[in-house]
Every structure is written in C-alpha cells, then in structure tokens.
Amino acid sequence: MKKTNLISLLILILLGTTSCEELFEYHPNQIRLESDERDLTAKNLVRLQKQNPGDTLRILVMGDTQRFYDDAVEFVKQANTFENIDFVIHQGDISDFGMTQEHKWVHDIMEHLKWPYLTVVGNHDLLANGSKVYQKMYGPLNYSFTYGHTKFVFVDTNSREYGFDGSVPDINWLRKEVYQREDEDFTQAIVVSHVPPYDADFDGNLEDAYQNVLESSKKVKLSLFGHIHNWHSNHVYDNHILYHGTTTVKKRGFTYLKVWADGFDIQMINY
Amino acid sequence: MKHLYSLTLFILLLAAFPPALAQEPLPDSAIVVPATSPYHVKAQFAGGIGFVSAGVGRSFFQDKLETDLFLGYLPESIGGDRIVTSAIKATYRPIKPLPLKTIDWQPLRVGFLVSYTFGSDYFTKEPGDKYPKNYYGFPTALHGSLLLGGQVDLTRVKKLQKFSAYYEFGSSLEYIISYIQNPKYLGPGKIFNLALGLRMKL
C-alpha cells in the first residue's frame, strides 16, 4: 500500500467537498445562513423605501409555499410578467417543517422576483426551532411600515403554536400600530396575518379584541390572510373591513391588489 | 448547480481512484480477516446528527450489516442553535469489498438512520393539549434518512488494522418527499449531504 495514494485520495475528497458550501449538513434544524440570507425583512424594506410610491400601489399577494417549490417557481415566472408592481407579500407557511433549508430554497426562488418581497410568519414556520429561523432569516414576527399613503401591519396570529396563552396576536402592539400616532401620516392601514381571526387556530379569547382594534382604528378597510389554502373574501364581522384570503401557490393562484388613498381593488389571478 | 457539480466530481474521483490503487489485486485467499470483536466505536463529522457525533455499535455477518447508536452535538457557534441529537443507524454492504493492497474498499454501503432531537422545541407526537389529532401528521423530533456511502477498511495496514474510514451521502425523508414532489427545482445534489467518519473495531 502506497500511503501517498491514500493521502492523495483524502486530499481530493477534501478538495471536492470544500468547493461546495452546503455539502455538509450538521442537522436538519441547524440555522446556518449566508449573509445575504439574513435580515431579509429589513433588506427588502430598504429596497422598498428607495422606490417612489405612486397614487396607486400595486401589490402581488401569494403564500403557503410550504414544500411546493416547483409551484413557487411558476409563481415567480407569472409574477414577473406584471409591470409596475411595488412589492410582493408572502402570506406565511414559507416552510413545511420549519427547517432552515426550506426557507433557503424558498428565498432562492423568491429572490428572482423583480421586486422586494415581505413575509408574515405562518404556523408551519414556527415548528421545531422555526421561530429562531424566521427571526434570523427575515426579522421580527410583528412589524410594520408605511409606504406612500398606506401603512402595512404584519402580525403573527398563529395562536395555536403558543398554546393559546393570550400573548398571540399581540393586541397592544397591534393597537399602537393601526392607530395613527402624531408623528405618522397614513390614510389607511392594511393588516397582514397568516391565520384569520375567525379560524380555529386563532385564539378565540382574542378574536373580539383583535377585530375591535381593527374596526375602532378607523384606518383598516382590508385585512389579508393565507393559511386556508383557498380563496376567501368576506366582510366577516358585518362591518366595513374586508377579510381577504389568498389561496396557496400549489393551487396556482395569487392576488393582484391595487391600493389607493382611501380604497383598494382585488383581483384573483389563477395561472 | 455548484453543489451537484462537486458531488459528481467527488463520485467520479472515487470511482477513478481504485483502479489506480488496484494494480496488483490480491487473490481472495489472501484476504486476512483479523480476529476482532464484533463491537466497534465510531466518530462522525456532519451527517444530520450534529457537528460531531460518537457512536457504539456491532457488526453482523462478517461486517455485512452494521448497527450503531450515536450521540451528536451541534454547538450554537456552528449551527446557529445548540442541538443535541441521538440516532440509530443501520448500514448494509450489498457487494463484496475490493481488496486493494493493504486496504479493503467497500464501494457501496446502503443504510437507514433515525434520529431523535432533544429539546422542548421538538415533539415525537403532537401534544394532544395543543393540536387536534393529526394536525401536522409528522414528528419534528424524529428524522429518518436514507444513506448511500462507502468505506475503506485498513485491514492490512500495520498497527491500523482496527480502523476504517467511511463516507456517507444522506438525505432526510422530508427532503426526499420534497424532491419527489418538486423534480424540477430540487435534485439529488440539493437534498443529499455528506458525512465522514472513522470506525475503530474493539
């Protein structure tokens, strides 16, 4: 046995492996991210704020990618045929098993969009150590931003994942966000969540409070959600607030939303 | 694509090397199987059960079948989260090892691994007080993986007869299901990951 042969074999193995950064996986729940896979919410908001919002905002809304990557690729192709879109909303359940690799694959697909995309956390994204994954990769579970005349409020409503402990959704946070502060100027607020408030996965003890906050703010006319894997559009609480659910990419549908200062228009696109 | 390229390169290199080593193949009668215990210990790098893991196990049917019990550790500094994992592994050698001078090369070992992740973040059975029955339908603490690899036994290397080195490409069942459902976006290079390990016969 020539020891040199064995040594060179080992060297070649090492060469083959180090030329590839994801050849080794230490654990399915490891949270190993490249620098361009971190803080995506903040990064996309920076991109967004560099754009000039017009009188009419144009937004594509999709979601529940879970493990349906081929369908997500198709969505991106379809979406990119549109023009003058401001940004894309992912309604949550980015992943199926709450594993980092799934988020990385979805981001790898979504970053081919011509516009920034923003996400809200879904219940699947909170499985295992998914909450840590989401916060490292995207950012806070609750966040908001104002773009043009409209404020967008993304809120974690996956109460079941927290054992219905009364903390989710965070009503106090939500109240501060949808009520206009003195230093703010927006004509309407759109609340984006994964689970709708009338769903069994939403904390029933918080349903009234949640919907009261939205109504009494006098700013919310529209709330977007995913989770149900179907289209659903209804004035659920017999008031002026429309709850609009977008189907999953697996069913090849997304919403084309136009927003102006005091109104909006919804088109359901099937592809 | 980069991943797939490296994987192919790696396999090609492995396939290309043995003939270079096997200039003078030994007759079957020359294969010396030293009298060792069927028990062994292993140390492994990567492979979905920690940054490093340690295992104990035993062989059956002249090493055709190996079973191991592993305990693996992934520190937060490397894994982004501190994760402790245990695993049972079984690998089977479907074809005879090739004697190459002082070593025996097992070009193929196939196997299966079931890992259990410790910690309150993970469940084996969905907690009944939290979810309706079969809400998710999969455990987050348990992962099954399919394994494809090979092993080099230092059978006739002086003082190192007890040692073997193995390489193992594995993919979790979640990734395999995802690949089957997404043949366009996913591919073997995206879902298979490499583990490297050492075995010492006791």
CA distance A130 to chain B (A): 9
Residues of chain B where predicted confidence (pLDDT) is lower than 50? 1-26, 29
pTM: 0.88
How many folded domains does chain A comprise?
1
Burial A31-70 (b: 16+ CB within 10 A, else e): bbbeeebebbbeebbeebeeeebeebbbbbbbbbbbbbbb
Interface test with A, best of B3, B5, B6 (most A CBs within 10 A): B6
Q: Do A22 and B3 touch (CB under 8 A)?
A: yes
Could you state, in chain order, the average pLDDT of each consecutive group of 10 residues for chain A (271 residues)?
Answer: 53 50 90 97 97 97 97 98 97 97 97 98 98 98 97 98 97 96 94 98 98 96 97 93 97 97 96 91
Q: Do A128 and B79 touch (CB under 8 A)?
A: no
Closest to A151 measured CA to CA, from A219, A211, A84: A219
Q: Specify the 3-state DSSP secondary structure of A181.
A: coil
To the nearest 10°, report the CA torsion of A177, A181, A186, A190. Answer: 10
Give the pLDDT confidence score for residue B6 in this predicted structure: 46
- Token pair in block for residue A154: 């993304």
Closest to A17 measured CA to CA, from B41, B139, B10: B10
Q: How many CB atoms lie within 10 A of CB B12?
A: 11
Chain A residue numbers with beta carbons less than 8 Å from the beta carbon of B45 are 24
Q: Do B184 and A73 touch (CB under 8 A)?
A: yes
Chain A residue numbers with beta carbons less than 8 Å from the beta carbon of B167 are 13
> Measured between CB atoms, which of A13, A28, A70 is closest to B48?
A28
A202 is a domain residue? yes
Chain B residue numbers with beta carbons less than 8 Å from the beta carbon of A102 are 178
> Measured between CB atoms, which of A6, A19, A29 is closest to B81?
A29
Chain A residue numbers with beta carbons less than 8 Å from the beta carbon of B48 are 25-28
Determine contact, residues A126/A98, Cβ cutoff 8 Å.
yes
CATH number of B36-201: 2.40.160.20
Q: Do A19 and B6 touch (CB under 8 A)?
A: yes
CA atoms of A103 and A95, how far apart (whole Å):
6
CA atoms of A96 and A102, how far apart (whole Å):
7
ipTM of the assembly?
Answer: 0.87
Give the pLDDT confidence score for residue B172 in this predicted structure: 96
- Token pair in block for residue A149: 């005349």
Q: Which residue of B has its CA nearest to A27?
A: B48
Q: Do A13 and B10 touch (CB under 8 A)?
A: yes
CA distance A39 to chain B (A): 14
**Domain with A44 in it:** 31-270
Give the pLDDT confidence score for residue B5 in this predicted structure: 43
Chain B residue numbers with beta carbons less than 8 Å from the beta carbon of A22 are 3, 193
Q: How many A×B Cβ pairs under 8 Å?
A: 142
Q: How many CB atoms lie within 10 A of CB B109?
A: 23
CA distance A46 to chain B (A): 25
Q: What is the mean pLDDT of chain B?
A: 87
A99 is a domain residue? yes
Q: Do B101 and A2 touch (CB under 8 A)?
A: yes
| Residues of A (34-63) whose Cβ lies below 8 Å from B | none
A66 is a domain residue? yes
Angle at the Cα of A120 (from A100 to A240), degrees rounded to 5? 165
Determine contact, residues B148/A74, Cβ cutoff 8 Å.
no
Measure Cα distances from A231 to A68, A80, B93, B100, B145 in Å.
18, 22, 52, 64, 36
A57 is a domain residue? yes
Q: Is A30 left (phi over 0), alpha (psi -120 to 50) or beta?
A: beta
Q: Is A163 in the B-facing interface, judged by CB distances under 8 Å?
A: yes
In eight-state DSSP terms, residue A241 is: P
Domain coordinates in residue numbering, chain B = 36-201
Give the pLDDT confidence score for residue B22 in this predicted structure: 41
> Measured between CB atoms, which of B81, B175, B183 is closest to A31?
B81
CA distance A30 to chain B (A): 5
CATH number at residue A175: 3.60.21.10
Q: Do B194 and A23 touch (CB under 8 A)?
A: yes
Give the pLDDT confidence score for residue B2 in this predicted structure: 43
| Residues of A (199-258) whose Cβ lies below 8 Å from B | 200
A113 is a domain residue? yes
Give the pLDDT confidence score for residue A18 in this predicted structure: 45
Q: Is A7 in the B-facing interface, judged by CB distances under 8 Å?
A: no
| Residues of A (89-148) whose Cβ lies below 8 Å from B | 96-102, 105, 109, 124, 127-129, 132, 136
**Is residue A84 exposed (0-12), middle (13-18) or buried (19+ Cβ within 10 Å)?**
exposed
Chain B residue numbers with beta carbons less than 8 Å from the beta carbon of A199 are none
Give the pLDDT confidence score for residue A10 in this predicted structure: 60
Q: Is A73 in the B-facing interface, judged by CB distances under 8 Å?
A: yes
In eight-state DSSP terms, residue A252 is: T
Interface test with A, best of B117, B143, B167, B194 (most A CBs within 10 A): B194
CA distance B182 to chain A (A): 5
CA atoms of A255 and A44, how far apart (whole Å):
20
Q: What are phi and psi of A5, to 5 degrees?
A: -60, -45
A14 is a domain residue? no
